[in-house]
Structure 1
């Protein structure tokens, strides 16, 4: 897992650096293409000095041509700046740079390639797309690894808990060479069955005593509800479970939550749509929340029938939908 993540991190750094490098190349190439120039047009001049970069406004091109006889300049206007390409004689280079500097000249790198600017721009854009795709793939792979690890960790956690219970079990035993004592908890309605089975397993040699828990005992709680009510135990566990001698409020949640849901979204059409969507999701996810929403959707359909509404309309196929409440 760590090795795979380290490899993905290294690949991500490489592609991120490549993407940044191509982004830096993008503006000069776009400028050259807009000016109708190629890198070769600004390179290899022994008697001329080449200038290529950003300036604050495009008026500098005319000033160069008017001030310096040897200047040949082209400019393309952008939203907040301009890009200029100029060739001047070497003897006029200092004067040209002074004029350009007065217009916030920032030099752009000229690609060192014999290829046309348009071809280089296309290659750069393709490489940027490739880097972006690779980075998206790496992100997806990292997410898959994380989900796989979480599943493994969940299974490992359950196994460790089971092993911990096994390891701690002897602490509940008091033993001699010929006898041992086990203490534990059992559901009240299953206590008699446990006594009978232990008696059979030990040929009646086990002494079994069942007693009611004391007031200060920390009694584990197991909720016992009908299958249709069980999902609503999830809402109860968001707060706290009742004590063993207290009333289980799950049944009240089973009644009240769908009741309010249906009253608020009282529409047969929306209720049916929700029931289908939540049902399909629940087949894959097996979530108690989705089971709760399915029951609530039935309540919504019921109230929709009372209100006589189907997707907000009170008529269906030109017929008035009968309703009890309005």
Structure 2
């Protein structure tokens, strides 16, 4: 049986270069070898944007276009909308009955994101994010989850939840494995944090060449380097992290010349801006074509969600039977 992958994003804004090097590029490659489900996680976006649901609504199609423009093929990957699969919500409730609050509070990913956002009081949805994520994975019966090292605790929590379900009732789900890749993290344009939608320090995938040039020219560089001839410190410069990600053949030369003070920041920025624009050019061309047919985007999302819904119904029927709560037989009210 072909391995099944689940991946996706919370749709809180347009995708950016950090998403591309961190996951999107890999997804495009994985769809050639695996059965891929790509989740537009609108419900989970509300864990941090519950007071601004319009942000989620407005970005649904933007993110879908980012996927398609980057090379996600709806004939090889199933794109589906989380809120349109009510079985996910049902399974989340069942899982939450036996997941302890302490285990969620000690999840390192939850702790770090809460600290990053300055949360002193955690709402139920934010704290329960790992339970919701476990339901996403289990409802699709995914066997592989592409993640970086920082997301491994989420996958391990999912595995524990699934094992607990099997101990209580009977086996229904495969235990997913983390497909860990060497996922680089781009520094933000401000140099202080990772590139992020909410931080305002990112280059979105739909940026024009002019926007890329302007953003790169404004980006923070080595604060200790004042003159072109001053020896630089590439390891602390966000621009060098972009060279490693998007200009690998020349990255070694950039490192050496920067360290020796034989290349200035302006030239260094101009070079990487050119490489980023080369990367984004075909994406923007595809996006321009796709944007002319908004109904086709909706059709892709509807069709993918329908496929995912069929699988979700089958999974939940087995869940209810395993729990002994399939009161009137299969699909009585469907």
Same-fold status (TM-score > 0.5): no
Larger relative contact order, structure 1 or 2 (CA cutoff 8 Å, min sep 6) = 2
Using the size of structure 1 for normalisation, the TM-score is 0.20
Using the size of structure 2 for normalisation, the TM-score is 0.19
